[in-house]
Structure 1
């Protein structure tokens, strides 16, 4: 999984030279973990109630491992639209 994520970062660096690799944005609207990854994890790991924390941890780890390169590419491809929406909202919240 780490190799796939590294491949996405390398793809962005190679094909989007104007984008500097930077720290995650503090804005949840521009942070892929907030606007995409958490919803994927919740959808996959929280389909049923868990009897305990260990069960939830296992489900989250399984969901994390299930995130594909295709998922990551979609998230990266969506970023320019999100960035423009943020600009259009003058840095405020947007959907």
Structure 2
């Protein structure tokens, strides 16, 4: 489990486990990567499964490390947003 200390010294990982939010998509960076893939493939058609897989693979490989790093850097803000929303949905 990723442990992040908030600016006020609150252990976010403990709060998440206490409040049953550990399964929230807000805490799962891969969910956001899937959304990025969906955006890139919107409107792209494939004639068969192999072609679709090739498109997915090419788009996955084209996602820059800058995008990945930006997503990872946003995680503390995402944790804080869930805390502020008391576990309810956030803008993420």
Q: TM-score, normalised by structure 2?
A: 0.68
Number of residues paired by the alignment?
75
Q: Give the match for residue 37 of structure 2.
A: 41
Structure 2 equivalent of residue 79 of structure 1: 75
Task: Structure 2: give runs of 5+ residues left out of the alignment.
Answer: 6-12, 14-21
Q: Aligned to 1:61, which of 57, 62, 69? A: 57
Structure 1: stretches of 5+ with no match in the other structure: 1-16
Q: Spell out structure 1 runs of 4+ moving beyond 3 A.
A: none
Please give the root-mean-square deviation of Cα atoms over the aligned residues, in Å.
2.5
Superimposed CA distance per residue, residues 9-61 of structure 1 (whole angstroms, 9 cap, x where no aligned partner): xxxxxxxx85xxx9xx5211111111x20121112234412112111111111
* Shift in Å, 1:64: 1.1
In the alignment, the residues of structure 2 paired with residue 80 and residue 87 of structure 1 have an alpha-carbon distance, to the nearest angstrom, of 11
Give me the TM-score of the superposition, normalised by structure 1: 0.66
- Greater shift in the superposed pair: 50-59 or 40-49: 40-49
